[in-house]
Chains A and B, each alone.
Chain A
């Protein structure tokens, strides 16, 4: 084993493998940093280039890229409040508030440090787990997946910020929305309204970008100030402070590594939930939870550790059994095909040195990637002091193209716009968004696993499987603990179930908006109940399980918000949370994005995006025409070179140019 490990390193450090590793790392840092791109997109783009490479070079290239995307994705999450990849959603909750406080460097320093540690230790756990991996993988089947989904849902409490009732209702809404389209085990499409676009369900990337990126960009646009609300000369907490934070929270780092590796090892769960699970665990296990959601560095440390450690975990079933641990690993299997290799026993025996070259790749890439970013962290963090108007158009381009890459479908842009409006409304009406995302991701996993479990294990007898039973007990304990803590917190707070504090998900702000959103969501739940009631049981189960409690909770939230609406005056805390929000400004921002979509339908992305970027700078940003023109040209060049020449994206066939 030691010989194979050293052999793996030796293979990696030969030419041309080391060269391809370096190139892969640089590309991975780019793919992670740009919102909407990701390790998955990177894998898809780079895979064809591995035809003709030797195996070690091919895997060094792909895994070198893949290993570091969850290091650089922190940049967008912290600086912009937009997830750089689907695995960096939770980082926004505390990373972005830190940036607004002028502590971007500290957040990045902590994140890059734990990313490196998580990635390296995750790879080491991968190597050490190889003899144990078979019993581990075999003990997790559909029943265990279902229970893990239920356990994951218990994180909702931790993700609901100051509004538990709305948090649980948001999770129910996420579960409900996840039922749109066909499920794998039934032949009746749900809630598709005759639209072919909806038959396949809602795609994840436009939903996540809509919920988080659009409100973040709206915030930047309406304030017109820099991201940091603190002047540069008053900002505190540099990179070194972040590294110290990581060291001081070493026990949280270890636990997050375990979460990352073992969630990553379970095929089908993947990176999109690992950061939520780690974040939720950090909140649940913390003695002082008061700063989570408002810039607690632990809210950055936990998810950023886990999403890098996950990479090693996901490689285990992929290499050992040919069963991909995540979506990018499914593409890596394509690399095996291209090399004429077969994952499985030979990768753990006669080709063990190649397997260890993959481990070596993860270790080296994580260290180099983090080091490169650490050196540049100070410069990167300066973006938080640039005027928001200079950032918004470029980021809108990234976000729209990221959503486009999801399916090359203009429907994804309509979806982004619609979800963006909902995200803005939720942000200013006390509805936390993370539980919605968690429900949306877990819904299909749980429904599919439950259906298979019931068929395969004689009904609910699957609950008596040993591992399932352990997870069930754990779930009950977590629910009980969360409920007990909530009751204790309620005794200390003045408002029932809600503390009006500035910042953080679920912070109460605009009363009228809150009532409107409550009514809207209540109507959605009621419609779902009414529609699903006429379906067969197997079709209606999840929609009704989500919609009935969702409706009751939404009704409760509405009653409370109406009471609050009748209060004579807004408290100073609520005014601070509202932060000058006016619904009309949101409408104008959304109309600008809608105008981009209309212009795309007419003229295509290559015309619409650069023109609308320039128009924003002229009309909203108050900049001169030279800057606007230069910005537009740069946008066009980026679109053409990156998306047309390199990625070969399928552009929208516009009405005018075809």
Chain B
């Protein structure tokens, strides 16, 4: 039996205490999934409406900042009939726990989902310790 659940509307979360932006407008927090494997940390962020050239990723002092700009998509003659979600840029910051190899960060934007792969630095890889019986 197929138990796929129904998607529910989630209101877009505005950033709680935004630093002042140079351009006025709303700032939203994108939903992210973050998982880690032995070698790398992967971050997946939902940023619909953002083109690849409008994403900026910054890693400094263990703080990762992702932001995406959304270009206004309404034509000049359009007037609103029903507005259920607002448009604004996406911004989120994370503090990374371990060391990341900064030269090997890979980012891919597909269907509005940003996939960021951060490879752990060599000295941060887990080392297997064999336990000898005795």
Instruction: Note whether A and B form a binding pair.
Output: no
Residues of B within 8 A of A (CB): none
Residues of A within 8 A of B (CB): none
